[in-house]
């Protein structure tokens, strides 16, 4: 089929815009293989098809339009045999055709596949079971990169470490060790390779995960087959990155010197570094601190101030006692604000115009004004005097008024 160069140029621009829009819109077009490479037939389907729709399918290989079809069906098949090679990018663009009020088209979406880029569409029997690509029951999707059984991660990482013994995760180190290194030396060649946005929250939630701590025996990685994070990380970020991109995160001599300065307990550190591990000022990552020492937040042994959760009473100004608790080698608990010393007094005015002298007890003023309806001390003294006069037979005789 011959298509004018002007039309092809227009469609390429149009399809580029379509590809950009496709990122922002829900998936509407899907390409799936019907036969294994290199004899595959590619099926392009418009997922939002409704009866009566007129669709236009454009097939583009590596930017060159090779076929176009207008149909009232939701899908079309492109015979790629003899027209593609391994690594070719095949794009299917779907437009909807409208005839009223005048014929025009609207973009509906696109999808791209790469020929022979994954084990499940490379035309090879990768696992030796005589089944290829989509005919292999272990190929769940076209982009599945494992045609055979799921790998045993312990075996996979051991094989990697046999070929690359100085790879970071083969030296008993984990992501937290890498994080410590990159915090101190952000320009190190080992930094910025792994996806920190994925690993940081995992290691915050479970800092004891083997991916975070590392292990001297690589065969123990991902021993839990249900640990999807561990399997995906080791397979994609460690093994595939090394085998396919030659990014094996190998630790050189200078890297080891820097790591030993941060933590001298690694097996590859010289004796002078390991000798101080667990001692005052020494690292305490894998080695506990000695007697009388405490492993600080910086993973360095410091002088121990107190035992965790120990309690003590301290005297505070004002004659009060306050309890303190030991948390992370610090005494926690403050004295209350100072109010008064034992023996101090003060006079306050009461609402009924009387006066009250308060004393100091346990850093607070003691004594309260009488409430409404209560007699003051002066009133009580006058009542007692009248009672005494009655008992003694005395009583007050009022004087006559002055002339």
CATH number, domain of 89, equals 2.60.40.10
Answer yes or no: is 199 within a domain.
Answer: yes
Answer yes or no: is 312 within a domain.
Answer: no
Pairing of strands 301-303, 89-98: unpaired
Beta-carbon-side half-sphere exposure of residue 156 (alpha carbons within 13 Å) = 21
Answer yes or no: is 256 within a domain.
Answer: yes
Q: Contact, 25 vs 108, CB < 8 A? A: no
Question: How high is the pLDDT of residue 230?
Answer: 79
* Nearest Cα residue to 186 out of 258, 128, 116, 256: 258
User: How far apart (Å, rounded) are the C-alpha atoms in residues 59 and 74?
Assistant: 15
Answer yes or no: is 279 within a domain.
Answer: no
Answer yes or no: is 63 within a domain.
Answer: yes
Q: What residue numbers bound the domain in which 73 lies? A: 5-117
Q: Are residues 163 and 110 in the same domain?
A: no
Answer yes or no: is 217 within a domain.
Answer: yes
Ranges under pLDDT 70 in the chain: 1-26, 33-40, 81-82, 116-123, 126-127, 132-154, 224-226, 272-277, 286, 372-403
* Torsional sign, CA 265, 268, 269, 275: positive
Q: Are residues 97 and 196 in the same domain?
A: no
Which of the listed residues 238, 260, 282 is the one where a domain comes to its end? 260
Q: Are residues 176 and 88 in the same domain?
A: no
Q: Are residues 9 and 94 in the same domain?
A: yes
Q: Are residues 20 and 103 in the same domain?
A: yes
User: How far apart (Å, rounded) are the C-alpha atoms in residues 164 and 242?
Assistant: 9
Answer yes or no: is 325 within a domain.
Answer: no
Q: Are residues 174 and 249 in the same domain?
A: yes
Supply the DSSP string of 34-96, one letter for each residue: SS-TTS-EEEEEETT--TT--EEEEEEETTEEEEEEEESSSEEEEE-TTT--TT-EEEEEEEE
Q: Are residues 69 and 161 in the same domain?
A: no
Q: Are residues 182 and 84 in the same domain?
A: no
Q: Are residues 105 and 39 in the same domain?
A: yes
Which of the listed residues 61, 95, 117 is the one where a domain comes to its end? 117
Q: Are residues 166 and 255 in the same domain?
A: yes
User: Tokens 């992370």 — which residue?
Assistant: 328
Which of the listed residues 235, 260, 285 is the one where a domain comes to its end? 260
Answer yes or no: is 336 within a domain.
Answer: no
Structural domain total, the chain = 2
Q: Are residues 197 and 243 in the same domain?
A: yes
Q: Are residues 184 and 248 in the same domain?
A: yes
């Amino acid at each position: 089929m011959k298509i004018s160069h002007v039309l092809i140029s227009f469609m390429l621009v149009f399809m580029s815009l379509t590809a950009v829009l496709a990122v922002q819109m829900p998936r509407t077009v899907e390409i799936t293989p019907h036969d294994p490479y290199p004899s595959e037939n590619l099926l392009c389907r418009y997922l939002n098809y409704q009866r009566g729709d007129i669709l236009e399918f454009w097939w583009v290989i590596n930017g060159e339009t090779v076929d176009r079809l207008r149909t009232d069906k939701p899908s079309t098949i492109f015979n790629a045999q003899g027209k593609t090679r391994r690594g070719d990018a095949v794009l299917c663009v779907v437009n909807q055709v409208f005839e009223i009020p005048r014929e025009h088209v609207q973009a509906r979406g696109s999808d791209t596949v790469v020929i022979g880029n994954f084990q499940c569409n490379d035309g090879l029997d990768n696992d030796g079971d005589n089944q290829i690509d989509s005919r292999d029951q272990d190929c769940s999707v076209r982009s599945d990169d494992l045609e055979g059984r799921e790998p045993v991660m312990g075996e996979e990482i051991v094989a990697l470490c046999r070929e690359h013994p100085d790879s970071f995760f083969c030296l008993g180190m984990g992501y937290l060790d890498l994080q410590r290194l990159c915090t101190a030396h952000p320009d190190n060649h080992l930094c910025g390779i792994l996806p920190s946005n994925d690993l940081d929250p995992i290691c915050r939630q479970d800092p004891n995960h083997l991916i975070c701590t590392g292990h001297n025996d690589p065969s123990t990685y991902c021993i839990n087959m249900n640990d999807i994070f561990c399997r995906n990380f080791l397979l994609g970020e460690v093994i595939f990155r090394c085998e396919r991109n030659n990014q094996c995160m190998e630790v050189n001599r200078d890297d080891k010197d820097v790591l030993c300065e941060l933590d001298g307990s690694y097996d590859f550190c010289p004796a002078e570094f390991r000798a101080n591990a667990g001692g005052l000022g020494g690292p305490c990552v894998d080695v506990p601190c000695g007697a009388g020492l405490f492993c600080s937040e910086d993973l360095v042994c410091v002088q121990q101030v107190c035992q965790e959760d120990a309690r003590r009473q301290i005297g505070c100004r004002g004659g009060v006692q306050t309890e303190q608790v030991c948390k992370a080698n610090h005494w926690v608990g403050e004295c209350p604000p100072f109010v008064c010393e034992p023996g101090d007094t003060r006079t306050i005015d009461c609402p009924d115009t009387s006066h009250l002298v308060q004393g100091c007890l346990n850093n607070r003023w003691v004594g309260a004004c009488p409430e409404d309806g209560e007699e003051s001390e002066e009133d009580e003294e006058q009542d007692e005097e009248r009672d005494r006069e009655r008992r003694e037979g005395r009583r007050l005789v009022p004087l006559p008024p002055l002339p």
